[in-house]
């Protein structure tokens, strides 16, 4: 009997690749610490968990909202993984989302797209968001190729610029701020018109899952196939592992850097567009909500696997919803979710450190 048990354990651990095992372990460790912290706060752990589950799975609305959020994380995370194949680290998701939001708002409000047929009313703003993200990602690529600027620095600083550009846009009536009718007019844009809002899959506002879901699903499949089955995916890996040998073999380093950072940017921009056209409808300060960094963590946790990104994006999407409800119902600060995410990153980094030492 014990032999059988040992055999099952061996098979299971063989099936789970070490990277998956590490990610799962990191999540479990972080969750345990989270429960410990709730306990330390003096809140009933069962109440908190009940509130958490209610906030994630309790209502159709909660489920749809969590999935919509996961879509954003997944897109940013996939962009992170693509750039990471070329050994680049894109930490600019936040800024790429902001640029996508600005572009989507501008086109939706002032692009005269409201009357266009065949979904162009929302597709054009979405395309504009994607292009804006692409441009933002490409700037980091150009800086890397022409000046050797580390992309971690450039994408992060570009994020600050984008976030403040967004602030400027919603503060200034000449830009995207809604007309000032009184001194109480909020610094935000007008609400976009109904035709430019993303259609809901069910058409039912109590389950507001929008067409971002199929879009993200297609992108996930395409990204996974491109990375694992195509020459491009192989060349990206070659450049990531050994840029000198790759360039001797005729693979252009500049081209790979540009394509991967631009793609990561485009997915960030698209995510921003989906957020604005699918949920928020109004551009305001704090629009990007830190989702760029959540997406980055999702990419990090996936350890290079596109399928892994989907899993970790769903995890974080539901984690956020549950966290919000825990605060409202059980009085546990949402900051706890941030703590758990931070713990996951540290556990992962620590595991990588110890794995590196062992070999």
Which residues would be at the binding site for other proteins (CB under 8 A)? 229-232, 234-235, 237-238, 241-242, 244-252
Considering the complex, what minimum distance in angstroms separates the CB of residue 129 from other proteins? 27
The whole-angstrom separation of Cα 327 and Cα 55 is 10
Considering the complex, what minimum distance in angstroms separates the CB of residue 77 from other proteins? 23
Considering the complex, what minimum distance in angstroms separates the CB of residue 144 from other proteins? 19
Task: CB nearer to other proteins: give 64 or 246.
Answer: 246
Give me 176's structure tokens: 């995207």
Considering the complex, what minimum distance in angstroms separates the CB of residue 83 from other proteins? 17
DSSP state letters, 273-301: HHHIIIII-S-BTTTTTTHHHHHHHHHHH
Neighbours of 236 (CB within 10 A): 27
The whole-angstrom separation of Cα 273 and Cα 132 is 10
Considering the complex, what minimum distance in angstroms separates the CB of residue 98 from other proteins? 33
Assign residue 94 a region (left: φ > 0; alpha: ψ between -120 and 50; beta: otherwise): alpha
Q: Which residues contact 326 (CB under 8 A, 6 or more apart)?
A: 48, 51, 52, 55, 332, 334, 336
Task: CB nearer to other proteins: give 182 or 359.
Answer: 359
Radius of gyration (Cα) for the chain, nearest Å?
22
Considering the complex, what minimum distance in angstroms separates the CB of residue 227 from other proteins? 12
Task: CB nearer to other proteins: give 177 or 237.
Answer: 237
Q: Is 200 helix (H, G, I), strand (E, B) or coil?
A: strand
Task: CB nearer to other proteins: give 19 or 334.
Answer: 19
Contact between residue 291 and residue 335 where contact means Cβ atoms under 8 Å apart:
no
Task: CB nearer to other proteins: give 160 or 241.
Answer: 241
The whole-angstrom separation of Cα 304 and Cα 9 is 25
Task: CB nearer to other proteins: give 193 or 254.
Answer: 254
Task: CB nearer to other proteins: give 183 or 357.
Answer: 357
Considering the complex, what minimum distance in angstroms separates the CB of residue 13 from other proteins? 16
Closest Cα to residue 144, out of 264, 301, 299, 295?
Answer: 264
């Amino acid at each position: 009997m014990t032999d059988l048990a040992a055999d099952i354990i061996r098979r299971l651990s063989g099936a789970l690749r070490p990277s998956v095992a590490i990610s799962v372990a990191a999540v479990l460790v972080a969750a345990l610490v989270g429960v410990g912290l709730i306990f330390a706060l003096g809140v009933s752990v069962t109440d908190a968990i009940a509130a958490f589950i209610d906030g994630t799975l309790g209502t159709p609305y909660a489920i749809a909202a969590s999935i919509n959020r996961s879509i954003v994380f997944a897109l940013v995370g996939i962009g992170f993984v693509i750039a990471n194949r070329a050994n680049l680290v894109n930490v600019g998701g936040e800024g790429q989302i902001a640029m996508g939001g600005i572009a989507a708002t501008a086109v939706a409000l002032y692009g005269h797209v409201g009357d266009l047929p065949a979904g162009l009313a929302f597709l054009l703003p979405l395309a504009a968001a994607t292009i804006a993200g692409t441009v933002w990602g490409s700037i980091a690529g150009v800086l890397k190729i022409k000046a050797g600027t580390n992309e971690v620095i450039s994408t992060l600083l570009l994020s600050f610029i984008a976030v403040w550009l967004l602030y400027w846009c919603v503060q200034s009536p000449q830009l995207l701020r809604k007309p000032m009718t009184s001194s109480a007019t909020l610094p935000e844009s007008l609400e976009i018109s109904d035709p430019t809002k993303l259609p809901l899959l069910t058409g039912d506002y109590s389950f507001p899952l929008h067409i971002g879901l199929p879009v993200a699903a297609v992108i996930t499949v395409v990204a996974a196939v491109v990375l694992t089955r195509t020459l491009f995916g192989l060349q990206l890996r070659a450049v990531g592992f050994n840029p000198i040998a790759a360039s001797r073999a005729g693979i252009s380093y500049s081209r790979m850097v540009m394509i991967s950072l631009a793609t990561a940017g485009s997915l960030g921009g698209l995510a921003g567009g989906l957020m604005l056209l699918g949920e928020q409808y109004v551009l305001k300060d704090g629009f990007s909500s830190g989702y760029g960094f959540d997406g980055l963590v999702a990419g990090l946790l996936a350890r290079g696997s596109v399928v892994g990104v989907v899993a970790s994006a769903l995890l974080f999407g539901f984690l956020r919803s549950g966290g919000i409800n825990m605060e409202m119902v059980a009085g546990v600060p949402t900051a706890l979710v941030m703590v758990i995410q931070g713990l996951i990153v540290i556990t992962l980094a620590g595991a990588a450190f110890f794995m590196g030492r062992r070999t």
